[in-house]
Amino acid sequence: LGPGRIHHCMRSVGAAEKALELMVKRGITREAFGKRIANLGKNPEVIAKARIEIESMRRMVLTAAKAMDELGNAEARVWVSAVKAMVPIRTCQIVDEAIQIHGGTGVSQWTPLARMYASQRTLRLADGPDEVHWFVVGRSEIASTEEAARDYNPKETFYAEKGSDSAAALSGP
């Protein structure tokens, strides 16, 4: 399943890239209130976040693929689950923002955006729903920290680092 999930995630990154391209093109070529849509309200921020998220997704997918190559499918399962959970969700959100900037045209057959959204939403269920993959990542994170957490006591650590003078000052008269 791992290689297939990586493949789906790579395609999702490509879909997000295409959605961003269409979002920016529409924003540049359409005007509202005498200004380009790309420059109105929060749209520059939406465009910037989409670019940053696409690059983040791309790096995570590459890291997961590298883990599969170097560690094998079983050892890379947490990375694979992480990208399988995160990438389709973020791609859906980027495609949705592109649809918003397009308005009604975004859900028409004139653009691939509605089809892209449906495809990404379906992918969130394929090979296990998001929650299964979040569970795998969360379980791994808990297991990797469990031993170190046994002695966790923030109050004791604070007083140990500050010394007894701080403890007396904080306790009051």
One DSSP character per residue, 56-92 reads HHHHHHHHHHHHHHHH-TTTTHHHHHHHHHHHHHHHH
Share of the chain above pLDDT 70, in %: 94
Mean pLDDT of the 32-53 span:
97
- pTM value is 0.85
Is 116:15 a contact under the CB 8 Å cutoff? yes
Q: Is the per-residue pLDDT at 173 higher than 60?
A: no
Which listed CATH number (3.65.10.10, 1.20.140.10, 1.10.760.10, 1.10.8.60) goes with 2-130?
1.20.140.10
Instruction: For the chain, give every domain's residue range.
Output: 2-130
Collapsed DSSP state (helix, strand, coil) of residue 173: coil
Q: What pLDDT is attached to residue 164?
A: 59
Q: What pLDDT is attached to residue 165?
A: 57
Kindly give the residue spans of alpha helices, DSSP state H, lying in 124-163. 130-149, 154-162
Q: Is the per-residue pLDDT at 22 higher than 60?
A: yes
Token output for 34: 């005498």
- CA atoms of 173 and 165, how far apart (whole Å): 13
Mean pLDDT of the 86-105 span:
97
- CA atoms of 159 and 165, how far apart (whole Å): 9
98-111 pLDDT, tens per residue?
999 999 999 999 99
At which residue do the structure tokens 């859900």 appear? 107
